[in-house]
Structure 1
Amino acid sequence: MSYQLPADCYNEIIEYLEEDKHTLHSCLLVDRLLCGISVKILWRNIWNFKSYYQKRPLKVTSSILSTLIACLPNESKELLYINKIFISTPTSKPPLFNYAAFCKVLLTHKIIRLVVDFFEAKPSTSSLSIKDRNYLVVNEIIKMFTNQIYSLEKLTCYCSNINFSFTHFPGVRNLSELCCNSNFPSNFFHQLSQVCHNLQSISIEFSNDISNELIELISLQNNLRNLNLIAFDLNWANIIPALTKHSNTITKLHIYSGNDNSPLSFINSFSNLQEIAFTFFDENDYEDFSNLQHANFPKLQILKFPSLCPNPEHVMNFLEHNGQTLKYFYTSESDKALRLSVAKFCPNLRRLFVIFKNDELDVLKTILCSCQNLEGIKIQCGKRFLTQKQVLETIVNHSPNNFCELKIYNIGKKSDLSQEDLESFLINWNNRTPKKLLRLIIIKNEGHHNDFDDYEENMKIINKYESFGTIKFMTKRSYEEEKDEEEDYYFYYHY
């Protein structure tokens, strides 16, 4: 006798497949029950299937867009028809599901990208200009989402000429993450401030003018935790009081700026910070960091300087006060004293990226011996830096017991590692006690294709030790790694 689990059980099981899109698609074909559950999970964040930098296949673009067009209300379809904008739908029958209602993430730049890519491949016969045609399609799709989404968690919108009406957007009350420009019409922020008081994450790209309505929206939040601030030539005076109002709840702060007047001293009041990242492009931008060098953040775990670094002496003072709690430190600064201070002040690090010059093998050894909780490290090799052979030998002989991930970014045009060196490293790693699977990641410099994994014999060696369970090997392109290390705070596409 057949037995079927309750729907709640299936739902719990399929939830675990959220990141496995291939298996989720397979579930669509099992039966009506699993199809309904899988569709809801797939459409929860339909945009989360490809990096922006990897252009999706036209088949995927057309499939998503045609499904969205099929879901449009009749008045929107009629408007497109009148303007001779023809986008075929999967079937002439109404859709089986109200797909738009399942969405919890609305990324307007992804919708724009979807429409632009589609029409680049399939030009329309519309009499409208390309810009007006794209604008019309995008806005009708967004209008549908705002009317039908019943529980929105994230809204990303950097294109200020998109029409939003939060009056008829019931799902926005549940919004927890907002990413936008500050130059939206003041009514945009006013309407949001009337219904959204529980934002946990705000990412804003600031222009010169900051409306009172935006300041009010920030001030009215009850439990704001994450702040991403992108600011160029900004007068910070008006916005700082609204930010410091949340000094007790903010745990994650990223400032991305090209303003040499960027004030950082206000951060002193954020006593519960767990993560700080500063991305500046001029050394003068860090002038105010001197006011933070002796600040105390007792819960700080992550500190990043993805681009330029402040005065090394100031950073060393900062590490002296806050290094004990740090678990991840990232800086491209080439100061040797700063690197040695990591070993001295940050004994509990788990992940690290610093620069080692070709005569600083002893510094790497010192850090590995001092930071006994270290699990992963990213190292640049080639040219004036350490060689891949030096790095592998040092890692296998001096890394702590829990070490399990090595990222090598080779900026040279050719690998210095021989087959013998590679196999010797893998044999020694396989014989380590305790035995630990190593994730070995090669970050490829764009245009360079002569790293050790580009040679057939080397890959045979790697595959052999993967089969032994010694390593897990993978490669990344440099832009993907950059995206991993420095969050992609904002993107907007002009159309």
Structure 2
Amino acid sequence: MSRQLPADCFSEIFEYFENDKVTLRSCLLVNRFWCELSVKILWRNIWSFIHRSDIQLKIFNTLISCLPNESKQLLSKNGIFISTSSTWKSSLFNYASFCKVLSIHEIDQMIKRVLENHQFAITSPQSLDYNKYLLSQEILKMFMNEISSLKSLEYYSERSKNENIMFVHLSETKNCLKDLTKLKCSSDIYSEFFFQLSQICHNIQSLTIEFKDIISNGLIDLISLQNNLKNVTLKSEDKDGTEIIVSSLTKFSSSLTKLKIKGYYIPLSFIAMFTNLQELVLSLELSGFYDFNQLQYVNFPQLKVLKFLDEYPEVEVMIKFLEINGKNLNELYMHNNDKILNLIIAKFCPNLKSLFTIFMDDEIENLKLILNNCQYLESIKIWCGDYYLNEKDFLEVFAKYSPKNFYKLEIFYAYKVSLEVPSDDLENFFLSWKSRIPQKPLSLIIIDKYSDFISLKEFGVWTE
């Protein structure tokens, strides 16, 4: 007799598919029980795949079907009718209650596109903006009423026009937002939004600010009233106003553990005050590192992850910084092609588990040095083609010198080349890998940037 797994086991298994929307959507069709489990996970962050127009319309229709009767009556009274009458029927689930992430901008844009594409039967003489306002208010009111504990809120001003979408005044908002832990917003959102949020939310742990021409009144108050801010992302293309936001973070000098900065005019010297920083990610042009030299002698004893996504500081500054902080790093991402820096990584970063750096075609010995010195290394990303490492040479080096815990190799073709990893070289590499002691499965990923699409080929090598 077949035995059914307990419900909590199924629930635990389904959680592993949280980022695999295709699999979750397939699970919807298996049976009622699987559908109930997967739909809750799918709707946690429905905005992650809303950009497809067909999916967008389905999500919109589903939300309309979830509206309470009084909202549907209000829309009808104002001459707004859904083109598909089935959307007025009650929905199978209370989908809105499953949402843990709410994107105000995505809701606004979704409604706007549906209206512009005439997917409504509208007899109202009112303008498109007014009809959009009515729909957004009823949908947001439903979310505020149905979501018992929202975890993440995103509110970015529209790129072409800064429109204020009012919802924090709703009576249902306080209960919905009281446990908010993640906020992503533009600096120019209307002041009332920040003032109201300041009265409700005091436990935001992750904050992302996209700086605009205006820094709204209330944003500083919102930041200062938080109790335990841990993760901050700052994005700026304009220096005006960034200093006041940066100064407001002083309160969190000991609690902040993750900091990401993307922009051109955010000063970096303030980073020194975050003594418990564990992750630092910088995505800057070269000019953005003008004051990084003030950090070269600072000790960050908890720093585990360091990423320079674009440019990086001067080599002399990086040498001193890694001499002090390199021994603590588990992950290093450097978009660099400096041979000296690769030698410095080998010397000062012995505890790395994950590495991205660039090796030129004459740096095979530097690669060996890193593999020998970084004995905890588990994964590495390598550029190939033209001026970079030869595939055959580095595959031989990896098979012979990679540390015992190594399991993931990414080969990235950054420029358009005719070269690909020859099948004979791959076969020899796999055979060599299979004879390694200790035996360990390998994930080999090959990414070709200049295909008609980015091809991702993954090979699993398993040994008995």
Please report the TM-score for the alignment, with normalisation by the length of structure 2. Answer: 0.87
For 1:344-381, what per-residue CA distance to the aligned partner results, in whole angstroms no more than 9, with x for missing partners?
A: 00000000111111111111111111100000001111
Tell which deviates more after alignment, 431-440 or 177-186: 431-440
Cα deviation 1:186-237 (Å, max 9, x = unaligned): 1100100101000010001112432341111111111110000112223333
1:258-299 alpha-carbon deviations (Å, 9 max, x no partner)? 22xx32111111000000011112x22111101001110000
Give the C-alpha shift of residue 88 in structure 1: 2.5
Map of 2:253 onto structure 1: 247
> In structure 1, the residue corresponding to 2:252 is in which secondary structure?
coil
CA distance in 2, matches of 1:19, 1:46: 17
Choose from 238, 242, 256 the match for 1:236.
242
CA distance in 1, matches of 2:128, 2:451: 34
Q: 1:138 to 1:437 in 2, by over 3 A?
A: farther
Q: 2:180 maps to what in 1?
A: 175
2:210 aligned with 1:188? no
User: Does structure 1 residue 224 correspond to structure 2 residue 224?
Assistant: no
The 1:172–1:287 alpha-carbon spacing in structure 2 relative to 1, beyond 3 Å, is same
Structure 1 residues 26 and 449, CA gap change in structure 2 (3 angstroms): closer
Distance 1:71 1:386, change over 3 A: same
CA deviations on 1:158-200 (whole Å, 9 max, x unpaired) are 0352222255212100100000001011110010010100001
Q: CA deviation at 1:435?
A: 1.3
Structure 1 residues 371 and 3, CA gap change in structure 2 (3 angstroms): closer
Please show how residues 215-294 of structure 1 align to structure 2 within 5 Å: 215-234=220-239, 235-259=241-265, 262-281=266-285, 283-294=286-297
**Higher RCO, Cα 8 Å, sep 6+:** 1
Give, in whole Å, the separation in 2 of the partners of 1:413 and 1:136.
Answer: 54
Show the counterpart of 2:64: 69
What amino acid does structure 2 have at the position aligned with 1:306? L
**Counterpart secondary structure, 1:178:** strand
Confirm or deny: 8 A CA contact 1:28 1:39 kept in the other structure.
no
Match of 2:46 in 1: 46
Equivalent runs, 1:13-412 vs 2, <5 Å: 13-20=10-17, 22=23, 26=27, 30-31=31-32, 36=36, 38-48=38-48, 50=49, 56=52, 58=54, 60-81=55-76, 82-88=78-84, 90=86, 93-112=89-108, 114-115=110-111, 123-124=119-120, 126=122, 136-159=134-157, 161=163, 162-168=165-171, 169=173, 170-234=175-239, 235-259=241-265, 262-281=266-285, 283-411=286-414, 412=416
The aligned length equals 448
What is the SS of the residue equivalent to 2:321?
A: helix
How many angstroms does 1:104 deviate by? 1.4
* Cα deviation digits, residues 300-348 of structure 1 (max 9, x gap): 0000110111112111111111001101111112221111100000000
Change (3 A) 1:356 1:117: farther
Closer, same or farther: CA 447–27 of 1 in aligned 2, 3 Å: closer
Q: Cα offset for 1:133?
A: 5.5
**Corresponding letter in the other structure for 2:238:** D
The 1-side partners of 2:9 and 2:112 are apart by 37
Secondary structure, aligned partner of 1:174: coil
Rounded to whole Å, the distance in 2 between the matches of 1:90 and 1:302 is: 51
Deviations 1:230-253 (A, max 9, x none): 122233332233101101100000
Instruction: Write the letter of the residue equivalent to 1:379.
Output: I
In structure 1, what is the Cα distance between the partners aligned to 2:45 and 2:278?
27
Over 3 Å counting, the alpha-carbon distance change for 1:153 and 1:91 in structure 2 is same
Q: Secondary structure at the match of 1:155?
A: strand
Deviations for 1:138-173, whole angstroms, at most 9, x for unmatched residues? 443223212321110000110352222255212100
- Alpha-carbon separation, structure 2, partners of 1:270 and 1:156: 26
Residue 443 of structure 2: SS of its match in structure 1?
strand
- Contact 2:447–2:455 at 8 Å: present in 1 too? no
CA distance in 1, matches of 2:218, 2:270: 22
Question: Residue 7 of structure 2 aligns with which residue?
Answer: 10
Which one of the candidate residues 440, 447, 450 is aligned to 1:443?
447
Query: Residues of 1 paired with 2:85 and 2:392: CA distance?
Result: 56
Tell me how far apart the structure 2 counterparts of residues 341 and 398 of structure 1 sit (CA, whole Å): 19
The whole-number CA distance in structure 1 between the counterparts of 2:374 and 2:397 is 14
**Partner Cα distance (2:114, 2:425) in 1:** 49
Preserved CA contact (<8 Å) 2:378 2:407 = yes
Q: Once the 2 structures are TM-superposed, how far is the Cα of residue 12 of structure 1 from its aligned partner?
A: 5.5
SS at 1:339 equivalent? helix
| Structure 2: segments with no counterpart, 5+ residues | none
When the two structures are superposed, what TM-score results if normalisation uses the length of structure 1? 0.82
Structure 2: distance between partners of 1:276 and 1:89: 51
Aligned to 2:462: 469
Conservation of the 8 A alpha-carbon contact between 1:151 and 1:175: yes
CA RMSD, Structure 1 to Structure 2 (Å) = 3.1
Contact kept, 8 Å, 1:410 with 1:451, in 2: the verdict is no
- More deviation, 124-133/170-179: 124-133
Give the Å deviation of 1:97: 3.1
Check whether the contact 1:387–1:416 (CA below 8 A) recurs between aligned residues.
no
- Equivalent-residue separation in structure 1 for 2:301 and 2:394 (angstroms): 33
| Residue from 418, 422, 427 that aligns with 1:418 | 422
Contact 2:311–2:336 (8 Å) recurs in 1: yes
